[in-house]
Amino acid sequence: MQKSLRYNEGHALYLALLARKEGTKRGFLSKKAAEASRWHEKWFALYQNVLFYFEGEQSGRPAGMYLLEGCSCERTPAPPRTNAGSAGTREALDKQYYFTVLFGHDGQRPLELRCEEEQDGKEWMDAIHQARCGSGLALDGVWVWSVIGCV
């Protein structure tokens, strides 16, 4: 398995544009922030084996990207609720679909995500699972990365 990927900002922006227009899966997900218990809604686009996220659906520039090589994706339970907030808010949050993307790299923090509907969450998990086994990034017809031996 290749240990590094060489790309520049132009490549990333081009792939992000392709992801926004032709991505396998696109839509809003909430992403857990680095600080505990804060969630931020972002617009995600999956293209081949790269998951991009944007501040909003109309944002032209990605806020970040994740390479999905060798990752795993699993359903996670809703986090425990505090007494803060109304009962209706807590109940709505408990009905959301939570899942986590775990990366095979030392020191890389898991990506915790949630969405409103269970079916949408299952579709995201399936798309991420398929993407992690992709054959690489195609950039102007040239493969810049390949994943070998994914099961």
Four-residue CA torsion sign, 132, 65, 122, 72: positive
Which pLDDT value is given to residue 69? 85
Which pLDDT value is given to residue 75? 95
Show me where the domains of the chain are located.
9-143
Q: CA-based angle 101:102:104, to the nearest 5?
A: 140
Cα torsion for 71, 76, 82, 84, to the nearest 10°?
80
H/E element, 54: strand 50-54
Per-residue pLDDT of the chain (151 residues; tens, 9 = 90+): 455 556 678 888 999 999 999 999 999 999 998 876 789 999 999 999 999 999 999 998 999 999 998 899 999 998 776 655 556 565 666 679 999 999 977 788 999 999 999 999 999 999 999 998 755 554 444 434 433 344 4
Which pLDDT value is given to residue 34? 81
The CATH topology of domain 9-143 is PH-domain like (2.30.29)
Model confidence, pTM: 0.79
Q: Are 137 and 49 in contact (CB under 8 A)?
A: yes
Tell me phi and psi for residue 73, to 5 degrees: -135, 130
Which pLDDT value is given to residue 18? 92
List CB contacts of 42: < 8 A, sequence separation 6 or more: 28, 29, 30, 31, 53, 54, 55, 63
Extract the tokens encoding 88.
């209706």
Which pLDDT value is given to residue 83? 59
